[in-house]
Amino acid sequence: MIIDSHFHALSMRRKGIEKLPDDLIGIDVGTDAGDIAERTRILPDSRNIFVSIGSGPWVLDQDSYTSVSEERDKLLRNYTQAGADAIGECGFDNHWGYGTPEKQKELFMMQVELASALNLPIIIHTRDADTEIEDALSSTSFNCRGIMHCFSSDERIMRKALDKGLYISFAGNITYKGNEAIRRCAAAVPIDRLLYETDSPYLAPIPMRGKPSRPEYTEYTLSFIAALRNDDADSIRESVKENLFALLQRNQSVRKLGNTIQQ
């Protein structure tokens, strides 16, 4: 059983990864409002593979972006046509500085409201943006369940996210040198809020760093987290599976899936 709470099937395919594990349980994550139809065509027909739809902050720098209201219309239109199990990934990114902080917040909060209206979890991207995500989480408008994906903040932000009912997901960068703050969080997060991921094809864990990541590499991240927590890897895997199903409420959307990622 391979669990990966966050992977990108289209990007993996472009890196030459043409098949997902048969025993995969996880979420194929969107980055653009219009990519869900292509993604669902290449995913295997499995009740344990879920899909999200969202607009990350990077869309603000795309020529096709016009306004947050138009982006909302695109998300709703594509959700209606293809279905989805979550909204995202979306959030804040000060590393690359897409758009402006104000526009990033407007785009993110629109998707928070959309997730709440559709009763779907939200998948949150945040990079070098602790102030922004803390401000958003403190808002009374934030009232949906979800995931802090590729968690890379400190314990204070983690506690704020936990207080909002969010799950904390750790990626391969937890194994990288110098990430002690992330490791402390992985050791401290309650077991019923813990998830792990690859963010495939990115952020391959040690000893695979430098290679395109793939869902199978979650086993390295899982082993690393188990050692941090002084716990059994199989026990953690089972808990994380239950956490993912609880978050998604095993939502069965109206999407139509193909038979293989190789199509």
Domains of the chain: 2-248 (3.20.20.140)
Instruction: Name which of 136, 251, 235 is nearest 194 in CA terms.
Output: 235
Q: How large is the average pLDDT for residues 243-259? A: 64
Strand partners, 93: 127
Return the pLDDT at 249. 85
CB 3 within 8 A of CB 221: no
Residues 9 and 21: their CA atoms lie apart, in Å, by 12
Kindly indicate the confidence band of residue 255, based on its pLDDT and cuts at 50, 70 and 90.
very low
Cβ neighbors of 210 (< 8 A, separation 6 or more) are 204
Q: Residue 92 pLDDT > 70, yes or no?
A: yes
Distance in Å from the first CA to the final CA of the chain: 24
Residues 201 and 252: their CA atoms lie apart, in Å, by 26
pLDDT in tens, 119-131: 999 999 999 999 9
pLDDT in tens, 7-38: 999 999 999 998 999 999 999 999 899 999 89
CA distances from 221 to 127, 196, 227 (A): 20, 7, 10
Which amino acid makes up residue 74? Answer: K
Query: What is residue 3's three-state secondary structure?
Result: strand
Helix segments in 143-179, DSSP class H: 155-163
DSSP 202-214: S-PPTTSTTSPP-
Query: What is residue 217's three-state secondary structure?
Result: helix
Helix segments in the chain, DSSP class H: 9-14, 36-42, 68-82, 101-118, 130-138, 155-163, 180-188, 218-229, 233-248
CB 203 within 8 A of CB 175: no
